[in-house]
């Protein structure tokens, strides 16, 4: 999109020292001796004229550079004019003024020696990747003005002006007719003017254009199958076949990303196989890339969880193989959009040098490709100095599979996927041009055909090398497949390297490519995020921001209790299992809510068990800080057998939690915020303290001394002042787990609504909303309310949301957070589809004008938008009857009752809304968000008899101590940084129109991979249940209390069969992290036998 408005750029200028002639020979500069006039006067006059001209040219150029550093770069293109600019001088440095639990202090902020001493006293958690003194030094540096002359592309401005056209580009449907970077019939030196013809073949490794073919296999830790099922049926074999193939030929390479899988494979290997892996790593044949536990989502994940999953992966590599193999290059090919928070994390905490990304809006890719900006320095919006710039490679084409990575024509590239039929079992090429075995008879034609694609792709970049990924989802599963790919490509490489001047092609790794290309040109700078992603037409991936919202909440609950345990002194080793379950869910088909129903349940079971484990740790460590609680724990509970436990509980993994401690009970609460005071009722709880209080901690209604009570509609109970509240829904007939496709917007049917306490509590059969006003001692011009929604969406093709509005002239500007760390600014586009105006909201959304700001803070991630001035839409849940053709093969119909708490803040004052200003959160909002997401941990005796899940009768007198929703770590929020604490083939339609049968299935065009749906999976989806073997494996066995002994005996027989599989796996050396699951499975089995009378 937008390419028709861009000026065409010429070829890369010669980089040799000095100008050259057409034939490559150096031109001699003309001087006075070459002047045509013979008399000295003419010569002198000519010299004076030349001097004057040069003088004015130099001054004009200097003035233009000064202007460039003070105002946006000018362009004849409207989109480029708004999108490319040189930064102004940095704003005045700010001090750190918030809590000291910061895990990512803002770089370039001053901090006083007293503050530094205070932090040294209070921070009690440092790890392998945390160096407190180094962090303080970073935050003490003053920001200098930006004198960077490189072109700067601000994505916030680019996406607000880019036409987003979708013109047919030919074989590259979303691009244009790309020409090769240079002709293979001439030498590279002659084509680029680097050398003369006579020495074109000299110094092959020094000046040759390099092509790195990088084999890989993208292995999702859960999607159509569970993590365990994928490992046993596919991933284990992939790693084994790759290791064997690499060991057979030292020229072969491979990269691996997901350490969750590799660690399991490693645990099962004998020492001789481990030594082979160490040798391959040492020889740089095998390379870890990113090295996190998973390849994480970047829209819904919180910064703290992103960091934990990186720590778990890197720690495992360092401790089991060696710290020298911990990667410094990132590989992120499948997340559905990208946030600048992750590059900052990788650069600041893990010393990364460069990263690769793929899923960016096709129109944005095209625009950047036209400018040759597909490789850039990714800069934080709050970092004018560029201290945390990350060199980034953006893949140009539609997908990361082989047809879309060798070059612009997928019908050609698919012919070089030697795993496809008839050579392999990975399916036919959709373009009916299948691969051929490379022989002496066809190697020349095949080599030039492939090289042409590589050089066309190279023309989109500025460096002296091109990267060609070679892989897809779950590839290299057999030795035959691996050998076929490596052998056929090596024959092509050998021919090219022997017969084509100026080019060298080889198998390579990600680090080899980046080391070759970095420093060979001056990249531009890009700022901002790459949301919302679209892969084709108007298909925007904005649905997954809200899909399976219950599980997004469960994710934050686990995150919150892990944080609380760490603040109590628990170590990484103590929390290894919960941290790894949290890490696993950060996978881009986990927290996104885009997995199949059995996989969703598996993730939930893992997190549920991890939460229970962590709560046990919390209770024990709370006892160490309170003698009365310690005594109660030693006594083991009252005479009736009750014991101290977490008050907030649920009876199963995907079930809404309840406070099982009653009003009037004495309970113990712990404040995990070391430098913040939280309250329970009238009791103030200092940071790090465990105190005894009487419930409840909060009640629906206004504060005792309210400045002005809110106003409600008498019929519906909706708030009308200071915030207007509307319950709404989208009635749709398209869309699925990934895509939001709006249909008709309707008000929610309020028939049968009951209004209590004047409007503070409103309930229908499926919705319940409670409002708790909070004290805001900061100013009379501040209102703070908690809106607590409990909903149970069971009606198909509905997307429920609440619209909150205020008297604010927002002029289309809308602000959201990125991973609870950065901020993003959006400008509403009425010329684009509604689904493109929905963005991720991990924690925060805001609108403002010069006098008022409306801020909404959330306990968990969901989608949000501002489709109308002065309003914010907050998605609560979505239920879809159909699949959206992205490979999942099902809709979203496993909804459960879900609780969401928003903290809504209206501030009146003076706010900077100028276009050049960076949005930043106020200290009050920061403190409120901090307490919302790090509430009091509450333990006591369970006094309620049962859990109730009916929205109609559910008691919801909550408090900030409930553990039903998790919490991101937050710290200081100075300036524009929110700190935290410590289809899948674009040719499907075209080919179908030509009568070509193509399976349009999600992450890959291969029917045998993610798009395949075998009979077993179909049965699972039909039954909407977990098979017995699966249940036994994950400790999810439900003890049937029915009196029907026949039914119970049937369950027992299923358990017995499943346990035989479990025992067999254990005998094979099951990793220790599953020992607790085995224990629970056996306990459940024994309980079921007892109930069945066996």
| Catalytic positions | 334
Contact 575, 562 (CB under 8 A): yes
Angle at 330 between CA 159 and CA 311, to 5 degrees: 115
Bond prior to 320 in cis (omega within 30° of 0): no
Element (H, E) at 453: helix 443-458
Instruction: Report the C-alpha gap between 948 and 1030 in whole angstroms.
Output: 28
Three-state DSSP class for residue 323: helix
Please tell me the total number of residues recorded for the chain in this structure. Answer: 1094
Please give the distance of CA 368 from its chain centroid, rounded to a whole number: 21
Closest CA to 106 of 83, 90, 125: 90
Residue found by looking up tokens 């103590």 in the block: 574
Contact 492, 443 (CB under 8 A): yes
Instruction: Report the C-alpha gap between 663 and 900 in whole angstroms.
Output: 22
DSSP label at residue 812: T
Instruction: Report the C-alpha gap between 547 and 888 in whole angstroms.
Output: 13
DSSP label at residue 983: -
Percent of the chain as helix, strand, coil, to the nearest 5: 35, 20, 50
Is residue 757 left, alpha or beta, with left meaning phi > 0 and alpha meaning psi from -120 to 50? left
Three-state DSSP class for residue 982: coil
Q: Cα(first)–Cα(last) distance of the chain, in Å?
A: 68
Question: CA of 889: how far to CAs of 543, 626, 737, 981, in Å?
Answer: 16, 52, 10, 39
Instruction: Report the C-alpha gap between 855 and 782 in whole angstroms.
Output: 11
- For residue 873 the two structure tokens come to 């839409």
Instruction: Report the C-alpha gap between 222 and 597 in whole angstroms.
Output: 11
| DSSP of 171-233 | TSTTS--PPPSS-TTS-HHHHHTSS-GGGTTSSHHHHSEEEEEEEEEE--SSSSS-HHHHIII
Closest CA to 500 of 443, 545, 458: 443
Question: CA of 199: how far to CAs of 204, 388, 503, in Å?
Answer: 10, 41, 14
Bond prior to 532 in cis (omega within 30° of 0): yes
Give counts: helices (H), strands (E), the chain.
Answer: 28, 38
Q: Within 10 A of 729 (CB to CB), how many other CB atoms are there?
A: 20
DSSP label at residue 234: I
Three-state DSSP class for residue 335: coil
Instruction: Report the C-alpha gap between 873 and 770 in whole angstroms.
Output: 18
CA neighbours closer than 13 Å in the CB half-sphere of residue 1030: 21
- For residue 96 the two structure tokens come to 């750190």
Three-state DSSP class for residue 680: strand
Contact 693, 683 (CB under 8 A): yes
Contact 806, 854 (CB under 8 A): yes
Q: Within 10 A of 857 (CB to CB), how many other CB atoms are there?
A: 26
CA trace torsion 1019, 1022, 1025, 1031 (10° rounding):
10
């Amino acid at each position: 999109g937008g390419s028709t408005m861009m000026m065409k750029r010429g070829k890369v200028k010669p980089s040799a020292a000095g100008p050259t002639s057409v034939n490559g020979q150096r031109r001699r500069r003309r001087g006075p001796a070459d002047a045509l006039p013979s008399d000295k006067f003419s010569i002198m006059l000519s010299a004076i004229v030349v001097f004057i001209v040069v003088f004015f040219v130099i001054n004009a150029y200097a003035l233009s550079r000064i202007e460039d550093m003070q105002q946006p770069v000018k362009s004849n293109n409207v989109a480029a004019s708004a999108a490319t600019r040189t930064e102004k001088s940095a704003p005045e440095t700010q001090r750190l003024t918030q809590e000291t639990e910061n895990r990512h202090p803002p770089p370039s902020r001053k901090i006083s020696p007293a503050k530094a001493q205070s932090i040294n006293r209070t921070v009690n958690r440092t790890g392998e990747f945390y160096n407190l003194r180094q962090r303080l030094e970073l935050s003490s540096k003053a920001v200098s003005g930006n004198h960077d002359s490189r072109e700067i592309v601000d994505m916030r401005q680019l996406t607000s002006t880019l036409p987003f056209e979708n013109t047919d580009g030919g074989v590259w449907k979303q691009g244009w007719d790309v020409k090769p970077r240079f002709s293979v019939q001439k030498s590279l030196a002659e084509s680029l003017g680097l050398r003369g013809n006579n020495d074109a073949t000299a110094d092959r490794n020094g000046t040759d254009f390099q092509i790195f073919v990088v084999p890989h296999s993208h292995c999702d830790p859960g999607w159509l199958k569970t993590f365990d099922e994928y490992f046993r049926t596919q991933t284990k074999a992939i790693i084994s076949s790759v290791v064997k193939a690499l060991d057979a030929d030292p020229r072969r390479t491979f990269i691996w990303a997901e350490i969750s899988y590799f660690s399991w494979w490693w645990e099962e290997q004998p020492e001789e196989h481990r030594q082979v892996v160490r040798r391959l790593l040492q020889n740089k044949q095998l390379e870890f890339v990113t090295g996190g536990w998973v390849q994480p989502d970047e829209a819904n994940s919180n910064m703290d969880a992103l960091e934990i999953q990186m720590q778990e992966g890197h720690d495992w590599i360092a401790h089991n193989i060696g710290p020298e193999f911990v990667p410094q290059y990132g590989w992120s090919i499948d997340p559905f959009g990208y946030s600048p928070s992750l590059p900052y994390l990788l650069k600041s905490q893990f010393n990364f040098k460069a990263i690769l990304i793929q899923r960016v809006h096709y129109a944005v890719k095209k625009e950047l490709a036209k400018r040759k900006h597909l490789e850039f320095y990714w800069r934080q919006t709050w970092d004018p100095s560029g201290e945390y710039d990350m060199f980034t490679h953006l893949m140009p084409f539609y997908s990361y599979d082989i047809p879309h990575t060798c070059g612009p024509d997928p019908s050609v590239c698919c012919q070089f996927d030697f795993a496809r039929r008839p050579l392999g079992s990975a399916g036919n090429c959709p373009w009916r041009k299948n691969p051929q075995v490379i022989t002496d008879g066809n190697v020349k034609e095949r080599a030039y055909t492939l090289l042409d694609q590589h050089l066309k792709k190279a023309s989109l970049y500025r460096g002296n090398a091109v990267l060609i990924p070679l892989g897809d989802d779950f590839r290299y599963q057999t030795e035959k497949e691996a050998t076929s790919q490596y052998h056929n490509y090596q024959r092509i490489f050998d021919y090219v390297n022997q017969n084509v001047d100026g080019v060298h092609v080889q198998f390579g790794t990600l680090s080899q490519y980046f080391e070759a290309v970095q420093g060979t040109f001056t990249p531009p700078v890009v700022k901002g995020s790459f949301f919302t992603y679209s892969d084709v037409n108007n298909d925007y991936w904005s649905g997954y921001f809200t899909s399976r919202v219950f599980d997004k909440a469960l994710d934050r609950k686990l995150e919150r209790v892990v944080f609380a345990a760490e603040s109590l002194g628990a170590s990484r080793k103590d929390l290894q299992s919960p941290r790894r379950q949290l890490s696993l869910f950060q996978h881009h088909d986990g927290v996104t809510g885009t997995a199949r129903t059995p996989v969703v349940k598996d993730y939930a079971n893992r997190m549920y068990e991890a939460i229970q484990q962590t709560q046990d740790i919390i209770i024990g460590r709370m006892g160490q800080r309170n003698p009365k609680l310690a005594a109660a724990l030693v006594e083991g509970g009252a005479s009736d057998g009750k014991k101290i436990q977490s008050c907030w509980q649920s009876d199963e993994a995907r079930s809404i939690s309840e406070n099982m401690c009653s009003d009037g009970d004495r309970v113990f609460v712990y404040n995990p915020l070391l430098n913040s005071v939280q309250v329970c009722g009238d009791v103030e709880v200092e940071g790090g303290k465990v105190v005894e209080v009487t419930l409840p901690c909060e009640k629906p209604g206004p504060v005792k001394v309210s400045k002005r009570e809110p106003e409600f509609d008498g019929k519906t109970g909706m708030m009308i002042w200071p915030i207007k509240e509307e319950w709404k829904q989208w009635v749709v007939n398209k869309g699925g787990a990934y895509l939001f496709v709006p249909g008709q917007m309707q008000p929610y049917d309020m028939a049968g609504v009951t209004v209590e306490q004047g409007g503070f509590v409103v309930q229908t059969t499926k919705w319940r909303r409670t409002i708790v006003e909070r004290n805001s001692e900061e100013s009379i011009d501040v209102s703070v309310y908690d809106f607590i929604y409990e909903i149970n969406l069971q009606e198909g093709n509905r997307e429920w949301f609440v619209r909150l509005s205020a008297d604010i002239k927002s002029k289309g500007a809308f602000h959201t957070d990125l991973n609870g760390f950065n901020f993003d600014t959006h400008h509403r586009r009425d010329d684009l589809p509604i689904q493109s105006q929905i963005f991720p909201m991990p924690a925060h959304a805001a609108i403002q004008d010069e006098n008022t700001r409306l801020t909404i803070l959330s306990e968990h991630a969901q989608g949000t938008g501002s489709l109308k001035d002065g309003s914010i839409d907050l998605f609560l849940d979505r239920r879809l009857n159909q699949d959206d053709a992205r490979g999942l093969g099902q809709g979203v119909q496993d909804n459960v009752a879900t609780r969401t708490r928003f903290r809504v803040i209206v501030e009146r004052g003076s706010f900077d809304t100028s276009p050049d200003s960076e949005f930043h959160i106020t200290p009050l909002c920061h403190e409120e968000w901090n307490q919302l997401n790090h509430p009091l941990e509450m333990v006591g005796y369970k006094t309620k008899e049962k859990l109730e899940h009916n929205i109609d009768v559910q008691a919801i007198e909550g408090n900030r101590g409930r553990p039903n929703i998790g919490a991101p770590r937050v710290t200081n929020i100075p300036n524009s940084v929110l700190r935290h604490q410590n289809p899948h083939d674009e040719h499907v339609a075209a080919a179908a129109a030509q009568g070509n049968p193509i399976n349009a299935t999600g992450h890959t065009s291969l029917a045998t991979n993610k798009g395949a749906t075998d009979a077993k999976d179909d049965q699972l989806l039909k039954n909407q249940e977990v098979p017995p073997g699966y249940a036994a494996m994950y400790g999810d066995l439900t003890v049937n209390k029915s009196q029907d002994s026949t039914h119970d005996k049937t369950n027992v027989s299923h358990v017995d069969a499943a346990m035989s599989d479990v025992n067999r796996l254990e005998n094979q050396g099951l990793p220790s992290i599953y020992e607790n699951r085995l224990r629970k499975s056996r306990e459940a089995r024994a309980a079921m036998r007892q109930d069945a009378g066996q």
